[in-house]
């Protein structure tokens, strides 16, 4: 089931969830006021969002986890700083969060351990995204820089001490705060597209580490969505238009610096965009609280979801498994009933330097849903095995069987011999008797 | 007597009596019953009626019974194969099966079973064996109804054979196998779980007894298999005997004397054992126990051979996780026994125990497990490192304490131990997946250290495979780390070619000089020529410097392939050119060796020359595909190789080459096909008014909602249009490059009417279309209509769309025209074919001028000719242009930074 999730900064609406294909509204997840880029689906297993509440003039910030089936957040964690952008790798084993101080935090989901925390930018981190193969992390910042981090470098203490920079690339061509970053497919040849308050979108080459294209828009772009074929990208602007900008379209005669087209039905600013894979649907969220689903080809609105009064600021399209508890064996089902939740523990606030041995172990699930189906029936195999042995005479088992057979034969012949013996003796006695009797009678005669 | 052919094989009966059988069928279909058995023919070999007949014949004539002797065992395999091919025991009826046939089949099966029962009750071991084995086959093959009906009878019949201590080994092995099959089948019916688990409980004890009492490996094997089946299918039955199963298996594992195969089976069973409990705790305890034991054995074996730091580290990590260590594997008594024995036993058996146990660890990591488990990654890695760092050399201080004999013993077994620890490393990588990240650096360090010292080909192959796994699982980030190490080692292993090659590719230590040399032969032909010259000399080289075995070279090539796949374009400058030239040289070499290949393959049956060739070509393909910036330097040579490979019909090589050529075709004719056809069918308004389109084109582009059904012509046209657009580009480049001033495009057109024609028919936007229409002499009526049409509804939809692109129907085959254009145009066209990179770059860097000029040009042309343009100028298109231009002017142009025309903008 492919669902659209939308959250807003106001917090009243919670996180709305709709089935993209039927349009039916699903469970609404409550009490969440997410900042922009603060909502992620962690490996399609559960939903996580950073959230900040202004209560009693004291900003408390937390990270909330929802399981798909319950509206209330089940796990709350309170990191050291208020985390804004969140990102999870594709398999859902790590969560990265960006802080206003410019630090990036990296947690292991399964244990909640804070594995690393490093100073990434001079100002707040505004957006985070994992690369296709999960080995790179791209971050955008309030200081206008976009940086590419290799997670290996981050984890390798030895090399990171030797290296001058932790990052692989630092792009600083944006003059104002970065509002969104996306990365395409293609491993090391991927393109990164970033949008900024300076009214430009820039396309960067990962393999070369250079700026490929700079596209100037008439107004600020807050969100970018890549067309899966990376032919174009969609840019949602503050004047309510969605621009289509060329990415890989050499063939199109470009007008206006790479902007191919634009369309709009938003009265207010477009705050977030997402692309639904199955049917070429573009989903946009707007400041007016509506979520619109567009047919990317015809650019007609296919569906509209009303989320809240406040601005929608995050949209996710998630392919959700129908029911996560289906595949599990009865043993787990029993245990999960006991535990109530199978969400991971809350994320830790600090890395624990004393307990350095804690990262000696890692919790993993073995084999996942994969069941090994071996050719389990063996008796015909055993038969052919032994027949082979029979044919190669002299092997242990065969000769043993031969022995058994011979023993049986031996016994039979013994019996036979005995019988013969008996018969012979009987006959003998009979003959002797006869002879003796005959002699006697003759004598008598 | 048993060697006779079955009288009723379908073929013979068909060929002999086809006519009769037809008539018999007609009779049957008419409802008449055919009275006599002898002429009761059936339809064909698929006919259901055939099956009971064959089964009966088999039972009657070919199975031994109490009286007739069992003389030819190979007959039995014939029976089994017939039963399986025709599924004679399946009793699978359809609706249309006549009841008579159903009855016949049922009775045939009953008589089959009766015969088996009677065989089971004989005292002759061979007949008994036949009965037991066939009962196992019946468990596998029979229908569900039959199985559910009689499994308890079968179970009762089989059980005595397991329990009785006497009896032939063969019979007991067959009983274990058949019992295991019975349980496998039973596990498929969760409804009768209660009954089946009560059965399974009865089996465990006798099986354990067999394992401990018997002395034949065949029986152990069968018993272990039965245990594994019980663990996976009926975990409950094992749970009560957990400790005794563990100790029985551990005893067999550690007591030595078993074959390698048997040890692996025992390890497999031990690794499965925690599944019977299925909780996190028992998995961890088992892992812990095994690791403790491995560590102890290693400490005994490596005494005096290793530095203390590694041992202490591993022992510390072992003690860490829990305060109380679990009891040793198999219980204290066993441990004591083993401990006593260990002091006496040789290093060899210690080390082989360790490698079996590590194999078991690897299985525990890769087998599935119902719950999440806590893997002591750090400990496992430390253990691997500890083993890999021991190479048999003696430290100075321990020289007096060890005899040369001891050292010999250890060194003879070390490769096996290293190999199993590398396997364990592979298992760790596989099971951890992305969660390996925090430990990745550690693994890389182990690998790099080991790579430098490792010399045995088998071990190097394993290291290569670990490296490949790392590269593929961990992606780009890992590749940045491992690249240099992989390159150095692969170059060393593929060095035979290097020697032949007169030093195109020197070893890793002379990086710079190699590259300088490479630069000198900047043209590929030069370096390849040199290689060809060197080829003759190189034949002598191997004599004092033996070629690395083919399998090692294959592994090196595969690892290079993985490296280039993952990180061919990212920070690869230092090694890229070296690797590319190496790969093409190897690939070309592999074709040259063709005739030599035959005799070599006899010597090296494991991996022959064709495998090497395949590996070389695979790596070559990847190296072509991963180029991001420049055209692959050896593309033409490579293409020729792929063509040659494709001609070797019927081989894997030919298959791969066909695939490679297809892939390369995309490289040669690059295309960026839009998911949504923006450019040429971007007429959302046409969509909205698809009725109009229907009238003119008779087809619809998409369903109203849902997956767009993009008709193929769109793609054709996209490609085609891009070709034609290159003609446009040619115009533009002419604009720039030639010294024509004023109206360059005009001048160009005047000179080259053909180019003009390209331009006219290429049609990338509506303006040009109007041109086309304006020069009505060359245009068909249909076009005219369409344009008018578009204009019509454009006026309906003002302010909605920005630019209208032409519907692509009219872009036809103008490619030859483009190629026969003026010389200049031709050049630039061909340039574009090779590197698509220039296209967007030109567009980007000349966006302003290009745009301006194109509008101007078009405007001029249009206004020259016809008033149609004026008609469209009233529409929104022109307005948009006018509106957009000032905006464009208002912006600072220098935002475009990278103006390098050779680079590519993807």
Residues of A in contact with B444 (CB under 8 A): 156
Bridge partners (DSSP) listed for residue A306: A290
- Establish, for the pair of chains A and B, how many residue pairs have beta carbons separated by less than 8 Å: 353
Considering the domain A2-323 in this protein, what is its CATH number? 2.130.10.10
Residues of A in contact with B893 (CB under 8 A): none
H or E element at residue B447: helix B437-453
Whether B678 and A363 lie within 8 Å, measured CB to CB: no
> What average pLDDT does this structure show over B841-857?
42
Measure CA of the first residue to CA of the last residue in chain A; give whole Å.
Answer: 121
Give how far Cα B553 sits from Cα of A38, B458, B470, B492, B904, Å: 49, 11, 19, 10, 34
Query: What is the residue whose two structure tokens read 């082979």?
Result: A388
A135 within 8 A of A151, measured Cβ to Cβ = yes
- Mutation site for A-interface testing, chosen from B120, B372, B476, B684 by largest number of A Cβ within 10 Å: B476
Tell which A residues from 260 to 279 touch B, by Cβ distance under 8 Å: 260-263, 278-279
d(CA B727, nearest CA chain A) in Å: 12
Q: Which of A211, A279, A366 sits opposite B367 (nearest CB)?
A: A366
- Domain ranges for chain A: 2-323, 386-444
What pLDDT is recorded for position B807? 42
What pLDDT is recorded for position A257? 61
What pLDDT is recorded for position B844? 40
Bridge partners (DSSP) listed for residue A128: A139
pLDDT surpasses 50 at B899: no
pLDDT surpasses 50 at B791: no
Residue B378: closest C-alpha in chain A: A360
Band (B621; pLDDT cuts 50, 70, 90): very high
Whether B888 and A391 lie within 8 Å, measured CB to CB: no
What pLDDT is recorded for position A58? 54
Band (B19; pLDDT cuts 50, 70, 90): very low
Band (B322; pLDDT cuts 50, 70, 90): low
> What average pLDDT does this structure show over B324-344?
66
What pLDDT is recorded for position B806? 42
Interval B457-515: pLDDT, tens: 999 999 999 999 999 988 888 888 888 889 989 988 887 644 444 434 433 333 333 33
Diameter over CA atoms, chain B: 113
Lowest mean pLDDT among B133-142, B649-658, B708-717: B708-717
Band (B599; pLDDT cuts 50, 70, 90): very low
Tell which B residues from 710 to 749 touch A, by Cβ distance under 8 Å: 718, 721-722, 725
d(CA B369, CA B777): 76
Whether B477 and A150 lie within 8 Å, measured CB to CB: yes
Whether B702 and A297 lie within 8 Å, measured CB to CB: yes
Q: Which of A206, A214, A228 sits opposite B895 (nearest CB)?
A: A214
> What average pLDDT does this structure show over B343-353?
74
Lowest mean pLDDT among A253-267, B596-610, B878-892: B878-892
What pLDDT is recorded for position A78? 86
> What average pLDDT does this structure show over B833-848?
41
Whether A328 and B675 lie within 8 Å, measured CB to CB: no
- Enter the tokens of residue A8: 């807003």
What pLDDT is recorded for position B334? 66
Residues of B in contact with A296 (CB under 8 A): 675-676
Q: Which of A188, A203, A370 sits opposite B569 (nearest CB)?
A: A188
Bridge partners (DSSP) listed for residue A95: A88, A107
Nearest to B671 by CA among B719, B720, B624, B717: B719
Whether A280 and B687 lie within 8 Å, measured CB to CB: no
Which positions ≥6 away from B360 have C-beta within 8 Å? B267, B268, B270, B271, B290
Return the half-sphere exposure (C-beta side, CA atoms, 13 A cut-off) of residue B169. Answer: 21
d(CA A173, CA A182): 16
Write down the ipTM of this complex. 0.80
Bridge partners (DSSP) listed for residue A107: A95, A114
B370 within 8 A of A331, measured Cβ to Cβ = yes
Q: Does A400 touch chain B (CB under 8 A)?
A: yes
pLDDT in tens, chain A (445 residues): 788 888 887 766 788 888 888 888 888 887 777 888 888 888 878 888 888 765 555 566 788 888 888 888 888 888 888 888 999 988 888 999 998 899 999 998 888 888 888 999 998 899 999 998 888 999 999 999 999 998 888 888 888 888 888 888 999 989 999 999 999 888 778 889 999 999 999 999 888 888 888 888 888 999 999 888 888 889 998 888 888 888 765 544 555 567 777 888 767 888 889 888 777 888 988 888 888 888 888 888 888 888 877 788 888 888 876 544 444 444 444 444 444 456 788 887 777 654 555 556 777 777 654 455 555 787 788 888 877 777 765 556 667 777 888 888 899 999 999 999 999 999 999 999 988 888 777 776 6
> What average pLDDT does this structure show over B592-606?
50
Phi, psi (deg, nearest 5) at residue A375: -70, 95
> What average pLDDT does this structure show over B238-254?
88
A120 within 8 A of A139, measured Cβ to Cβ = yes
> What average pLDDT does this structure show over B232-246?
88
d(CA B135, CA B141): 10
Does residue A233 sit in helix, strand or coil? strand
Diameter over CA atoms, chain A: 155
Residues of A in contact with B723 (CB under 8 A): none
Residue B883: closest C-alpha in chain A: A256
Whether B373 and A214 lie within 8 Å, measured CB to CB: no
d(CA A380, nearest CA chain B) in Å: 6
What pLDDT is recorded for position A22? 83
Give how far Cα B323 sits from Cα of B284, B329, B477, Å: 14, 17, 38
- Enter the tokens of residue B45: 């070999």
What pLDDT is recorded for position B888? 39
d(CA B724, CA B762): 5
Whether B377 and A133 lie within 8 Å, measured CB to CB: no
Tell which A residues from 7 to 46 touch B, by Cβ distance under 8 Å: none
């Amino acid at each position: 089931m492919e669902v659209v999730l939308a959250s807003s900064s106001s917090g009243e609406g919670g996180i709305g969830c709709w089935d993209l294909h039927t349009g039916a509204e699903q469970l609404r997840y409550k009490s969440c006021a997410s900042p922009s880029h603060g909502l992620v689906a962690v490996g399609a297993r559960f939903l996580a969002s950073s959230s900040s509440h202004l209560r009693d003039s004291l900003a408390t910030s937390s990270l909330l986890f929802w399981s798909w089936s319950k509206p209330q957040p089940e796990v709350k964690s309170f990191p050291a700083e208020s985390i804004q952008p969140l990102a999870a790798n594709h398999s859902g084993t790590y969560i990265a969060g960006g802080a206003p101080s410019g630090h990036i935090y990296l947690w292991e989901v399964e244990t909640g351990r804070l594995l690393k925390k490093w100073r990434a930018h001079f100002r707040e981190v505004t957006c985070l995204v994992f690369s296709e193969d999960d080995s790179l992390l791209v971050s955008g910042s309030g200081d206008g820089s976009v940086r590419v981090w290799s997670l290996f470098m981050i984890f390798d203490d030895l090399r990171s001490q030797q290296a001058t920079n932790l990052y692989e690339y630092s792009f600083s061509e944006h003059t104002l705060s970065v509002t969104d970053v996306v990365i395409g497919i293609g491993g090391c040849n991927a393109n990164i597209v970033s949008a900024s308050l300076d009214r430009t979108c820039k396309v960067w080459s990962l393999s070369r580490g250079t700026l490929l294209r700079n596209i100037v828009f008439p107004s600020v772009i807050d969100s970018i969505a890549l067309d899966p074929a990376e032919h174009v990208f969609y840019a949602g602007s503050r004047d309510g238009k969605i621009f289509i900008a060329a990415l890989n379209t050499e063939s199109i005669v470009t007008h206006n610096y790479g902007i191919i087209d634009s369309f709009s039905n938003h009265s207010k600013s477009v705050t977030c965009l997402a692309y639904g894979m199955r049917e070429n649907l573009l989903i946009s969220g707007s400041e007016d609280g509506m979520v619109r689903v567009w047919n990317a080809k015809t650019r007609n609105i296919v569906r509209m979801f009303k989320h809240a009064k406040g601005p929608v600021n995050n949209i996710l399209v998630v392919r959700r498994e129908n029911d996560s508890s289906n595949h599990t064996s009865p043993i787990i089902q029993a245990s999960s009933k006991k535990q109530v939740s199978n969400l991971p523990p809350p994320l830790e606030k600090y890395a624990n330097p004393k307990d350095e041995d804690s990262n000696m172990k890692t919790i993993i699930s073995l084999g996942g849903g994969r069941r090994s189906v071996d050719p389990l029936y063996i008796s015909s195999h055993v038969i052919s095995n032994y027949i082979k042995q029979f044919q190669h005479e002299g092997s242990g088992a065969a000769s043993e069987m031969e022995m058994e057979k011979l023993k049986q034969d031996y016994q039979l012949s013994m019996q036979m011999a005995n019988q013969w013996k008996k018969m012979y003796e009987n006959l003998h006695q009979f003959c002797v008797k006869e002879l003796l009797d005959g002699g006697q009678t003759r004598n008598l005669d | 007597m048993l060697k006779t052919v079955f009288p009723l094989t379908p073929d013979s009966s068909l060929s002999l009596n086809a006519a009769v059988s037809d008539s018999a069928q007609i009779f049957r279909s008419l409802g008449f019953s055919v009275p006599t058995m002898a002429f009761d023919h059936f339809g064909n070999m698929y006919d259901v009626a055939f099956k009971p007949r064959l089964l009966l014949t088999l039972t009657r004539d070919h199975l031994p019974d109490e009286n007739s002797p069992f003389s030819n065992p190979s007959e039995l395999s014939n029976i089994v194969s017939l039963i399986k091919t025709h599924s004679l025991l399946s009793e699978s009826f359809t609706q249309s099966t006549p009841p008579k046939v159903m009855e016949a089949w049922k009775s045939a099966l009953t008589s089959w079973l009766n015969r088996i029962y009677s065989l089971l009750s004989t005292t002759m071991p061979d007949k008994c064996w036949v009965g037991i084995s066939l009962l196992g086959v019946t468990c596998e093959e029979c229908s569900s109804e039959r199985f559910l009906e009689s499994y308890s009878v079968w179970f009762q019949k089989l059980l005595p054979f397991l329990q009785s201590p006497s009896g032939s080994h063969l019979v007991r092995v067959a009983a274990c196998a058949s019992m295991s099959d019975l349980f496998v089948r039973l596990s498929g019916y969760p409804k009768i779980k209660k009954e089946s688990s009560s059965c399974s409980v009865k089996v465990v004890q006798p099986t354990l007894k067999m394992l401990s009492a018997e002395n034949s490996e065949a029986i152990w094997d069968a018993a272990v298999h039965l245990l594994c089946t019980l663990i996976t299918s009926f975990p409950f039955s094992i749970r009560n005997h957990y400790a005794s199963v563990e100790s029985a298996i551990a005893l067999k594992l550690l007591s030595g004397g078993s074959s390698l195969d048997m040890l692996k089976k025992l390890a497999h069973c031990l690794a499965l054992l925690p599944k019977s409990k299925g909780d996190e705790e028992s998995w961890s305890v088992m892992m812990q126990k095994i690791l403790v034991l491995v560590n102890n054995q290693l400490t005994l074996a490596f005494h005096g051979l290793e530095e203390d730091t590694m041992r202490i580290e591993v022992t510390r990590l072992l003690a860490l996780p829990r305060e109380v260590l679990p009891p040793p594997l198999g219980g204290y008594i066993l441990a004591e026994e083993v401990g006593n024995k260990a002091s006496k036993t040789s290093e060899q058996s210690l080390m082989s125990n360790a490698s079996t146990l590590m194999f078991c660890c690897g299985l525990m990591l890769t087998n599935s497990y119902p719950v999440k488990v806590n893997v002591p990654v750090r400990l496992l890695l430390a253990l691997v490192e500890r083993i890999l760092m021991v190479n048999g050399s003696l430290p100075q201080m321990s020289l007096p304490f060890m005899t040369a004999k001891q050292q010999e013993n250890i060194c003879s077994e070390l490769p096996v131990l290293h190999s199993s620890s590398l396997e364990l490393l592979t298992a760790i990588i596989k099971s951890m997946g992305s969660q390996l990240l925090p430990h990745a650096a550690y693994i890389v360090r182990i690998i790099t250290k080991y790579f430098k010292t490792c010399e045995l080909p088998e071990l190097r192959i394993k290291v290569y495979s670990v490296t490949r796994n790392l590269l593929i699982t961990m992606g780009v980030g890992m590749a940045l780390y491992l690249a240099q190490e992989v390159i150095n080692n692969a170059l060393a292993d593929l060095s035979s070619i290097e020697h032949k090659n007169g030093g195109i590719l020197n070893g890793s230590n002379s990086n710079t000089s190699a590259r300088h040399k490479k630069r000198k032969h900047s043209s590929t032909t030069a370096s390849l020529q040199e290689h060809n010259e060197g080829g003759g000399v190189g034949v002598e080289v191997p004599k004092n410097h033996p070629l690395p075995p083919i399998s090692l070279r294959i592994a090196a090539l595969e690892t290079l392939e993985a490296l280039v796949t993952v990180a061919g374009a990212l920070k690869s400058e230092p090694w890229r050119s070296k690797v590319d030239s190496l790969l093409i040289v190897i690939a070309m070499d592999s074709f040259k060796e063709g005739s030599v290949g035959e005799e070599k393959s006899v010597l090296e049956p494991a991996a022959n020359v064709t495998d090497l060739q395949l590996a070389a070509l695979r790596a070559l393909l990847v190296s072509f595909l991963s180029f991001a910036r420049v055209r692959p330097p050896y593309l033409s040579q490579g293409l020729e190789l792929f063509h040659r490979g494709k001609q070797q019909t019927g081989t894997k090589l030919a298959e791969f080459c066909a695939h490679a050529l297809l892939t390369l075709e995309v490289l040669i004719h690059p295309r960026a096909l839009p998911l949504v056809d923006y450019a040429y069918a971007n007429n959302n308004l046409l969509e909205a008014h698809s009725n109009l389109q229907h009238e003119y084109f008779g087809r619809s582009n998409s369903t109203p909602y849902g997956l767009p059904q993009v008709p193929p012509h769109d793609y054709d046209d996209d490609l085609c249009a891009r070709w034609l657009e290159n003609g446009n580009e040619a115009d533009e480049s002419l604009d720039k490059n030639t010294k024509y001033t004023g109206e360059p495009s005009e001048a160009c057109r005047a000179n080259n009417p053909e180019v003009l024609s390209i331009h006219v028919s290429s049609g990338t936007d509506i303006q040009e279309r109007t041109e086309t229409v304006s020069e009505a002499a060359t245009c068909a009526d249909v076009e005219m209509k369409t344009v008018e049409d578009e204009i019509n509804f454009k006026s309906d939809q003002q302010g909605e769309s920005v630019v209208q692109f032409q519907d692509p129907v009219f872009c036809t085959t103008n490619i030859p025209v483009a190629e026969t254009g003026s010389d200049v145009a031709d050049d630039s066209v061909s340039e574009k074919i090779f590197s698509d990179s220039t296209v967007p770059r030109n567009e980007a860097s000349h966006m302003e001028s290009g745009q301006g000029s194109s509008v101007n040009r078009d405007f001029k042309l249009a206004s020259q000719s016809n008033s149609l343009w004026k008609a469209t100028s009233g529409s929104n298109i022109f307005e948009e242009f006018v509106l957009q231009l000032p905006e464009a002017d208002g912006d600072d142009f220098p935002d475009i930074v990278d103006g390098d025309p050779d680079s590519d903008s993807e």
